[in-house]
Amino acid sequence: MQQSHFKEESALEQERDLVQWAQQERRVLDERYALLEELGSGAQGTSYRAFDIEVGRIVNIKVYQFDESATWKEFELFEREAETLRTIEVQGVPRYFDSKLDLELMPPRAYIVQEHIDGETLEYYIKKKLRFSMQHMLEMAKALFRILADLHAYAPPVIHRDIKPSNLILSPDGRLWLIDFGLVAASRANKTSSTTAGTYGYMPPEQVMGKAYPASDIYAAAMCLVHLFNWTPPLGTTGR
């Protein structure tokens, strides 16, 4: 018990040191969120493990990257992701805490704050060629399809549109988490779009043509599981 107490004290001290470092390096958003560690970056922005100084907890922050030539479409994608996360409550999707879009800054800045999930993405396990037992694969498949069933049960259904190994985290307790709703569909109308949203190899043919349905997420989830099972990337990805 005493050893556990010392470990907790050591972890808290380490977090305090990191927050102090972030403040010294001016890595604090709105005098509240200390950016401690970069977790990954993509076309839309960069994700960080951060510390919420006001509440006193570790969080995940996705900071959108805009430049002076940013279009309203980019701002719309941010607002759509923030609004979706704000209004849903699904087991297996990190909780939403906060978001902000500041158009007065130049370039504009926006961020979304969510529950931080420890663990590794399924992409990590694929790259390391780590095998899961068939029982574990079945449990992950059930968890993933349960998350999608809950998302698709909303009216209109929440269609993720970018399910892939790098957007699925396996936490130390064995739970599966779906992250990054940056390409979430706007509505159930699904009018044909000239813009393809998703990741080639995982998204189905109709999504390549600009349409997405709940079944499109199911297809992408199945492609992820096949990739995890045999380590062979789907046709159309950069790995093939």
Least Cα distance to 112 among 161, 45, 186, 57 occurs for 45
The CATH code belonging to domain 2-115 is 3.30.200.20
Q: Look at the domain 120-230 and name its fold.
A: Transferase(Phosphotransferase); domain 1 (1.10.510)
- The answer to which of 83-92, 190-199, 214-223 has the lowest mean pLDDT is 190-199
Task: Evaluate whether 220 touches 204 at the Cβ level (below 8 Å).
Answer: yes
Q: Does residue 240 surpass a pLDDT of 60?
A: no
pLDDT tens for 94-138 read 999 999 999 888 888 899 999 999 999 999 999 999 999 999 999
Quick one: pLDDT at residue 75?
86
Q: Is 180 left (phi over 0), alpha (psi -120 to 50) or beta?
A: left
Question: Per-domain residue ranges for the chain?
Answer: 2-115, 120-230
Asked if pLDDT for residue 40 goes beyond 50, the answer is: yes
pTM of the model: 0.86
pLDDT score of 187: 60
Instruction: Name the β-bridge partners of 110.
Output: 64, 101
